[in-house]
Amino acid sequence: MAAKYRVGVIASGRIAGEQGRGWTECEHTEIVAIGDTHPEALSDYAKDFNVKAAYLDYREMMAKEELDIVSVCSWDPQHAEMTIAAAAHKPKVILCEKPMAISLGEGEAMVVACKRNDVKLAIGHQRRFFSAWNEARRMIQDGAIGEPLRLWTGVRAGMLNTGTHGIDFQLYALGDVQAEWVMGSVERKTDHHIFGHRVEDRCCGLIGYPGGAVGVIENELSGEYRVGATITGTEGMMDVQGNSLKYMTQSKAGWQEFEPTETNTTGYGDAFVAQAYGICEWIEGTVEEYRGEGEYGKAALEIMMAVYESARVHERVMLPLQTRDNPLDVAVEEGRIPVERPGFWDERSFLVRGESMSWTNR
pLDDT digits 0-9 by tens, 84-110: 999 999 999 999 999 999 999 999 999
At the topology level of CATH, where does 5-127+269-292 sit?
A: Rossmann fold (3.40.50)
**pLDDT of 362 higher than 90:** no
Bridge-partner residues for 58, per DSSP?
none
Q: Where in the chain is the domain with CATH 3.30.360.10?
A: 129-267+299-350
For 348, counting Cβ atoms within 10 Å of its Cβ (0-12 exposed, 13-18 middle, 19+ buried), the class is buried
pLDDT value of position 361:
57
Write out pLDDT tens, residues 127-173.
Answer: 999 999 999 999 999 999 999 999 999 999 999 999 999 999 999 99
Q: Give span(s): CATH 3.40.50.720, the chain.
A: 5-127+269-292
Amino acid in position 329: D
CATH number listed for the domain at residues 129-267+299-350: 3.30.360.10
Backbone angles phi, psi at 295, to 5 degrees: -60, -35
User: Average pLDDT of the chain?
Assistant: 94
CA proximity to 304, closest of 161, 156, 194: 161
CA–chain centroid gap for 192, Å, is 20
Number of neighbouring beta carbons within 10 Å of residue 213: 21
Q: Which of 69-78, 248-257, 288-297, 299-308 has the lowest mean pLDDT?
A: 248-257
HEC states along the chain? CCCCEEEEEECCCHHHHHHHHHHHHCCCEEEEEEECCCHHHHHHHHHHCCCCEEECCHHHHHHHHCCCEEEECCCHHHHHHHHHHHHCCCCCEEEECCCCCCCHHHHHHHHHHHHHCCCEEEECCHHHHCHHHHHHHHHHHCCCCCCEEEEEEEECCCHHHHHHHHHHHHHHHCCCCCCCEEEEEEECCEEEEECCEECCCEEEEEEECHHHCEEEEEECCCCCCCCEEEEEECCEEEEEECCEEEEEECCEEEEEEECCCCCCCCCCCCHHHHHHHHHHHHHHCCCCCCCCEHHHHHHHHHHHHHHHHHHHHCCCEECCCCCCCCHHHHHHHHCCCCCCEEEEEECCHHHCCCCCCCCCCC
Handedness of CA 318, 209, 193, 312 (dihedral sign): positive
pLDDT in tens, 183-205: 999 999 999 999 999 999 999 99
Q: What is the pLDDT of residue 97?
A: 97
Q: Among candidates 198, 199, 195, which has minimal Cα distance to 75?
A: 195
User: Whole-angstrom Cα distance, residue 200 to residue 332?
Assistant: 10
359, pLDDT greater than 90: no
Q: Name the CA dihedral angle for 107, 111, 112, 117, rounded to a multiple of 10 degrees.
A: 140
* pLDDT, mean of residues 326-340: 96
How many Cβ atoms are within 10 Å of 223's Cβ, its own excluded?
8
Whether pTM exceeds 0.85: yes
Integer Cα distance of 322 and 307 in angstroms = 13
Given a cut of 90, is residue 31 above it in pLDDT? yes
What pLDDT is recorded for position 81? 98
Mean pLDDT, rounded, for 40-57:
95
- As a whole number of angstroms, the distance between CA 54 and CA 14 comes to 17
